[in-house]
Each structure stands twice: as structure tokens, then as C-alpha cells.
Amino acid sequence: MKYLVLASALSLPLLTGCVVAVGGEGKSSHTSSWERTHEKNRKVIANMELGKEYQMVINKLGTPSFSELVKQGDTEFRVLYYATNSIHSDGKTTKDECTPLVFKNNLLTGWGENALNQLKH
């Protein structure tokens, strides 16, 4: 009987198994949070409609990585930059890793580099 108890105690560590977690809406556990954020931002921006109000966009996308504001006469321009792709592997988001969203008087007038370049001319 002593040997049975001893054998059971010694074999207990051999009987442990590993647990495999499944879930996360089909996402790999190797996908980092910034990759998920970039993907979410790309999807939301791709389905964005011109004329959306500034606050509606903020509510949908959250706080931007960068923002700029300039007023020319009675016209106010805002540019929100949302992280959409990683270029540098330094753990810091830069504007070249973001998609700019351009607002004129709080209404979305465009996004991307072309929309941003139109402000410069």
C-alpha cells in the first residue's frame, strides 16, 4: 500500500497536461494589440463617409495618435492621424505610420495623403 501511494505521488507530475486556449474571434494569440488597433482603424476608415461630424469620428475611432488644428479666417481645419500601418519597429507611432483624416469646419472632407496635400495648396 505504501508503494502504491508513493508511486501515485511520484507519477502525478507526469499526468499533468497542457491547456490550449481557443477563442479571440479567430485571431491568433500572436497578434499584438497594436496590430489589432491598426486593423480596426483601417476597417473603420475604409468605411468612413464624407461629411461625418468630427465628434462622430472621434466616437468611432477614439483618440488619434496625433492631431492638428489651423484656422484661416472663418474656416477651421482639423487633421486627425490614426495609426494604420507599422513602418518602424521601434515601438513608437510616427505620422508616416498614420492615415490623416481632414475636417473642414468639423465635417470630414477626406482622408489620406491626397486630402492632406490639398490643405497645403
The string of pLDDT tens digits covering residues 4-22 is 554 555 554 555 544 444 4
Does the residue 47 lie in any domain? yes
pTM of the model: 0.70
The pLDDT assigned to 86 comes to: 80
Task: Report the CATH number at residue 81.
Answer: 3.30.1450.10
Residue 92, in any domain of the structure: yes
Whether 93 maps to a domain, the answer reads yes
Domain that residue 105 falls in: 32-120
The number of distinct structural domains making up the chain is: 1
Give the whole-angstrom CA distance, residue 74 versus residue 6.
86
Span 32-89, pLDDT tens digits: 788 888 999 999 999 999 999 999 999 999 999 999 999 999 999 999 999 998 877 7
- Which whole number is the average pLDDT over 82-104? 87
